[in-house]
Amino acid sequence: MAVPIEMIVNGKSVATEVDADTLLSTFLREHLRLTGTHVGCDTASCGACTVHVGGRAVKSCNVLTAQLAGQDITTIEGITPRDGSLHPMQAAFKACHGLQCGFCTAGMVMSAIDLVLHHPHATEEEIRHGLEGNLCRCTGYQNIVKAVVMAAKTMDGGQAS
Amino acid sequence: MSAVRAPLIGRSVERKEDYRFLTGVGQYTDDIVLPAQSHGYFLRSPHAHARLRSIDIAGARDAPGVLAVYTGEDLAGIGGLPCGWLIKSIDGSPMKEPKHPVLAEGKVRYVGEQIALVVAETAAQAKAAAALIDVDYDVLPAVVDTASAAGNSACVHDAAPDNVCYTWAIGDESAVTAAFAQAAHVTRLDLINNRLIPNAIEPRAANAQYSAADDSYTLYVTSQNPHVERLLMTAFVLGLPEHKMRVIAPDVGGGFGSKIYLYAEETALVWASKRVGRPIKWTAERSESFLTDAHGRDHVTTAELALDAQGQFLALRVRTTANMGAYLSTFASSIPTILYATLLAGQYTTPQIHCTVQAVFTNTAPVDAYRGAGRPEATYLLERIVELAARELGIDPVALRRRNFIRSFPHATPVGLTYDTGDYEATLNRVLDLADVAGYPARKQASAAKGLLRGIGYSCYIEACGLAPSNIAGALGARAGLFEAGEVRVHPTGKVTVFTGSHSHGQGHETTFAQVVADRLGISLEDVDIQHGDTGKVLFGMGTYGSRSLAVGGSAIVKAVDKIISKGRKIAAHLLEASDADVEFENGEFRIAGTDRKKTFAEIALTAYVPHNYPLDKLEPGLNENAFYDPTNFTYPAGSYVCEVEVDPETGTVRVDRFSASDDFGNVINPMIVEGQVQGGIAQGIGQALLEGCRYNEDGQLLTGSFTDYALPRADDLPNLDIELSPGTPCTHNPLGAKGCGEAGAIGSPPAVINALLDALAPLGVSRIDMPATPHRVWEAIARSKR
C-alpha cells in the first residue's frame, strides 16, 4: 500500500509516495539514489546505514520511511561540503587513516558526528563505547578513535555539522 | 638545476582514494543500477543434507513480477565450479573432487546451498516468489563434526565414501621418528583452530548484463581478482569465449579472502542474463553471507615437539584434520597443505618436521582462505607448543625461542621453503622493549590487588607471502601460475595511468602504487592514477590475496616503469644528440651526464606521441609498457607480538590490556597504511582468540548466523595496539625489497592472546582452552580446575 510522505532530505524537501514497508535505507538508496548510505546486515547490528534523523544518528535499515513524515534527514552526502572540501570529521578520518575499504565509513562518520556533537569532550573509552553500534572489519577501530578525538577538537565546540 | 624532491617512498601520505569513500560517492556493486535492471533471489536449502525428490516451480513462475525461475536441471549441461589446486594423497592418488554445481543437482549438501534462481522486476518480488517454490526433500543424516567426519556412517559425496578428500603429508617421517627416539623431552598438544566466518562488511553482490549487440557479457562483482573470476567462469564453467566477457570489480568493501573465489551466484546470474535478456542483480543479505561465504580455519590437530636436554628442538610431528565443507572452493585444497604445513618451521631451526593432513568433506559451507589462510593455523600450533614446552621444562618462553631461532640466511626448512632473509632476534628484542616486559611483575601485582589474574603471552610468527613463484607453486599442485601484470601508460603531457592486476578492497593501492611510480619517474603523486579491477582495462591479473599486491603486483609495475625509463632514455638521446649510454635519468629529468643539457619527463612524453623530430627508423612512437613479474621465491615477513590479558575469575571475562607488535615487512612504502593493515589484522586475530566461533548443531544448522550470534570485535572490545615497523631486512629478490603486510596481524596474534590467557590461568591449574576463549569457556575451565 502506497503512503504519501513529505520530509526534508539533505536540506531539500521531498514529497512522494512509498510502500508502507519501505525501509529508510531502501528509500534513500533506491528511490533517491543516495548510495553513500550502505547496508551491511539485516539485524540492525552493523551501523553501516547510519544517517541523521532530526540531528540524531539512526540506523536507517531499522526505520520505516512512512514513520518519518516532516522529519529532517541528513546522509553522508548532506554533510559533505559542496566546494570539494571535507567536514572536519571526514578530514580527521582521512588524516588518521580511519578507513580502509570505505564500506562502513559513511555510517561510522555519521555516528561519530552525533557522538561529538552530544559529547564534545568524550574520552577515548567513551568514544569506543559510543561507536560500538558500528562494525568495521578493516581498521581495528584504533585510527577511527584517533580521528574522532581529532575531529572533536576541530568541530568548533560542537557547532559544525 | 631543480631542487631534489623529497622521496615519497617511506612517507605516510594521505590516501588518494579516501575522498570518494568519505563523501559517499564510491561505487560498490550494489550501488550500480543498469538500464532495464532486474533482480535475482536464490532459494537456499534449509537442510544440511537432503535428496531433492522434486522441485515444483509453477507457483513461483506465475507470481507477480517474475521473469524466470531456474533450477539445477536447467544448468545441468554446464561445468562445476573448479578448484585451482590439485593436492595428491600420500598414495599418489589425486584428491577427490566431486562436482560443485552452480545450482544443486539431485542433492543439497549444506544449509544455504542454492537450489533455484528466481528473476523478477524487483528484489522483493523475487524473494516473495521463491517462497512459492515447493521442494520435496528427503532429509539425510548430516556429517558436521570435523574430527569424526572420516569414516562417518553418513556420506557427503558418493565419490568420497569415507568423506576423505585427501590424506597428504610433507617431511621425512622416519627421520622424525628417529629424532623422537633420541628426545630428552616430548611436549604434546591437542588443539582446535576454530572455524571463522570472514564477514567483510560489504555483502557479496553481482550484477550481470548480456549485450545482444555483440554477444558479450559484463559482470560487476565483489571480487578480489576479476581476471581469475573471468578465466574460471568462461573457460571452466560456462564455456563462453573469454574475450566476450568483461568482469568489473568496482569499489569492494573488504574481502579478507572471502571474495577471492568464483561463487555460484554470479555464475548463475551471467548464465541467466542472456536467457532473460535483462541485467540481473543480486546482493546477499547478511544471513546469506553467514551461510554461504567461504568460511575459514576449522582444524583439529595433534602436535608433538621433541627437545633435547638443553631445550633444542629436535623434531615436530603434526597430524591435522581439516574441514573442506561440502564442496571444494577455489583455493580450498591448498590452504591446509601448501600454505599450512610448509610454515611449521616458523622462526626455528627444527631439523625434522613431519605433518599429515587429512582433508574431509562435511555438510557445512565450503571452507577456504581467510586472512592468513593456513599460516595462522601453523603459527597458532607452533607458538602454543613452544610456550607449553617452555612451561613444562621450566625454561623462560622467550629464552627457549631465542635458543632455537634461525640466525643464518638463506635457510632451507625441512618443509620445503627457503627463507631468504630475516632477523628474528631484532624484532623480539624490540617488542620486549615496546611491551615493557620489565614492568610486567608490577602490573600483575596491581591486577591481583583488584582480584584479577594477569597473564603475558608471546608469539613469534613467520609467513610465506608474495604468492607465488609459479614454478614452485606448479610443483606443489597449483593449476595456474601466480605472477602479476602491470602496465604503465604515459600520456602526451607526461601524466601517467597505471593498470595493475592487483585489486584494492581497502589496502590503498591507489596511493601506495602511485608513490612507487611517482618516485621512480620523478613526477608528482597527483600525476599518477592507479586503475584496477576491470578486465576491460587491465591486461591481466591474478588479483589480491596472500599479501602479494606490492611484492608481486608492485614489482610488475616497477618493471614496466623501468621499461618506460629505458625507452625515454633513447628518445632523450636522440633529442640531445647523444648516445643512449650517456643519458642518465634522475629526478624526473633525462640529462647528459656531467652537463646541464636535459629534457624533462613531460618533454619526452610529448615527443613520443607527437613525433615531429623522432627517430622513427629506430624507435616506435608512444610511451606505454607492459610487464609481467613472476617472483623467484616467496617473501617471508616475520615479527614478534606480546599480549597481556586481565581475567576476571568470577565471570571468566578476558580483557586484552596491552598488545605490542614488532613487524619486519622489509621496505615499507607508506607506514600509515601498513600500520593500518597490522591493526586490522590483529583485531581479527583477537576476534578469533576471544570472540569469533562458527558453530553448527549436529543437524548442520548454522547456530551463529547473524551478528547477534557471531561476535565480531567492536570498538570497545579492543585495546590500542602498540605497533612498530622494524627497519627490517628487505626482501632479497624483488625490486622493492617488500615482503607484504596484509595478513601478519591475523597470523601472529591469536597465539599471543591464548598464551597470555593460559599464563594468567596457570596458577589455577588450567592447561587447555580452545578459541574463542569466551567468558563462558573460561569460567567453565576455571570451575573445572577447582573440582
B65 touches chain A (CB under 8 A): no
Task: Reply yes or no on whether the pLDDT at A156 is more than 80.
Answer: no
B19 CA: distance to closest CA in chain A (Å): 8
A83 touches chain B (CB under 8 A): no
- What pLDDT shows up at residue B26? 97
A151 CA: distance to closest CA in chain B (Å): 14
Residue numbers in B near A143 (CB within 8 A): 676, 679
Task: Reply yes or no on whether the pLDDT at A159 is more than 60.
Answer: no
- What pLDDT shows up at residue B5? 75
Note the pLDDT tens digit of each residue in B725-766. Answer: 987 899 999 999 999 999 999 999 999 999 999 999 999 999
Note the pLDDT tens digit of each residue in B285-311. Answer: 999 999 999 999 999 999 999 999 999
A56 touches chain B (CB under 8 A): no
Mean pLDDT of chain B: 97
3-state secondary structure of B240: coil
Task: Reply yes or no on whether the pLDDT at B1 is more than 80.
Answer: no
Pinpoint the alpha helices (H) of B182-281.
226-231, 264-276
- What pLDDT shows up at residue A158? 45
Measured between CB atoms, which of B22, B286, B681 is closest to A42?
B286
Note the pLDDT tens digit of each residue in A72-130. Answer: 999 999 999 999 999 999 999 999 999 999 999 999 999 999 999 999 999 999 999 99
Contact B683 A97 (CB under 8 A): no
**What pTM, to 2 d.p., does this model score?**
0.97
End-to-end CA distance of chain B: 81
- What pLDDT shows up at residue B212? 97
With 0-12 CB in 10 A as exposed, 13-18 as middle and 19+ as buried, what is B770?
A: middle
DSSP B104-155: --SEE-STT-EEEEEEESSHHHHHHHHTT-EEEEEE------STT-TT-SS-
Residue B392: enclosing H or E segment and its boundaries? helix B375-393
B289 CA: distance to closest CA in chain A (Å): 9
Note the pLDDT tens digit of each residue in B704-722. Answer: 999 999 999 999 999 999 9
Q: Which residues pair with B490 in a beta bridge?
A: B496
- What pLDDT shows up at residue A47? 98
Q: What is the DSSP letter of B28?
A: B
Residue B643: enclosing H or E segment and its boundaries? strand B638-648
B469 touches chain A (CB under 8 A): no
Residue numbers in A near B12 (CB within 8 A): 97
Task: Reply yes or no on whether the pLDDT at A1 is more than 90.
Answer: no
Question: Mean pLDDT lowest for which of B70-84, B604-618, B731-745?
Answer: B604-618
Task: Reply yes or no on whether the pLDDT at B83 is more than 60.
Answer: yes
Note the pLDDT tens digit of each residue in B663-702. Answer: 999 999 999 999 999 999 999 999 999 999 999 999 999 9
Contact B201 A103 (CB under 8 A): yes
At residue B94 the predicted structure's pLDDT band, cuts being 50, 70 and 90, is very high
Residues 222-281, chain B: which have Cβ within 8 Å of A? 251-254, 256
A97 touches chain B (CB under 8 A): yes
Chain centroid to CA B666: 19
Residue that has been written with the C-alpha cell 608513490 in this structure:
B515
- What pLDDT shows up at residue B787? 76
Measured between CB atoms, which of B203, B254, B679 is closest to A142?
B679
Measured between CB atoms, which of A45, A80, A129 is closest to B707?
A45
Note the pLDDT tens digit of each residue in A7-23. Answer: 999 999 999 999 999 99
CA distance B129 to B64: 8
The residue among B359, B363, B301, B355 whose CA lies nearest residue B333 is: B359
- What pLDDT shows up at residue B575? 95
B200 touches chain A (CB under 8 A): yes
The residue among B546, B639, B551 whose CA lies nearest residue B347 is: B639
Cell representation of residue B731: 626482501
3-state secondary structure of B552: helix
Question: Mean pLDDT lowest for which of A144-148, B245-249, B314-318, B612-616?
Answer: B612-616
Residue numbers in B near A40 (CB within 8 A): 201-203, 253, 286
Residue B504's region, left for phi above 0, alpha for psi from -120 to 50, else beta, is beta
Q: Residue B549: how many CA atoms within 13 Å on its side-chain side?
A: 30
Contact A140 B718 (CB under 8 A): yes
CA distance B96 to B83: 11
DSSP chain A: -EEEEEEEETTEEEEEEEETT-BHHHIIIIIS--TTS----SSS-S-TTEEEETTEEEEGGGSBGGGGTT-EEE-HHHHS-TTS---HHHHHHHHTT--SS-TTHHHHHHHHHHHHHH-TT--HHHHHHHTTTS--SSS-SHHHHHHHHHHHHHSGGGT--
Residue numbers in A near B684 (CB within 8 A): 137, 140
Whether B475 and B86 have beta carbons less than 8 Å apart is answered as no
Residues 337-396, chain B: which have Cβ within 8 Å of A? none
Task: Reply yes or no on whether the pLDDT at B624 is more than 80.
Answer: yes
CA distance A65 to B98: 48
A43 CA: distance to closest CA in chain B (Å): 7
At residue B656 the predicted structure's pLDDT band, cuts being 50, 70 and 90, is very high
Cell representation of residue B296: 575459514
Note the pLDDT tens digit of each residue in B31-54. Answer: 999 999 999 999 999 999 999 999
- What pLDDT shows up at residue A157? 53
Q: What is the DSSP letter of B237?
A: I
Residues 106-135, chain A: which have Cβ within 8 Å of B? 106, 109, 124-125, 127-129, 131-132, 134-135
Task: Reply yes or no on whether the pLDDT at B540 is more than 90.
Answer: yes
The residue among B381, B379, B382 whose CA lies nearest residue B371 is: B379
Note the pLDDT tens digit of each residue in B114-149. Answer: 999 999 999 999 999 999 999 999 999 999 999 999
Contact B707 A128 (CB under 8 A): no
CA distance B447 to B563: 61
At residue A160 the predicted structure's pLDDT band, cuts being 50, 70 and 90, is very low
At residue B169 the predicted structure's pLDDT band, cuts being 50, 70 and 90, is very high
Q: Mutation test of the interface with chain B: which of A94, A100, A123, choosing the one with the most B Cβ atoms within 10 A?
A: A100
Q: What is the ipTM of this complex?
A: 0.97
Mean pLDDT (whole number) for B328-335: 97
> Rounded to the nearest 10 degrees, how much is the dihedral formed by the CA atoms of B346, B350, B352, B358?
-30
Pairing label, strands B313-325, B418-419: unpaired
For residue B678, which amino acid is it? V
Measured between CB atoms, which of A40, A95, A125 is closest to B203?
A40
Mean pLDDT (whole number) for B75-103: 96
At residue B370 the predicted structure's pLDDT band, cuts being 50, 70 and 90, is very high
Q: How many CB atoms lie within 10 A of CB A22?
A: 19
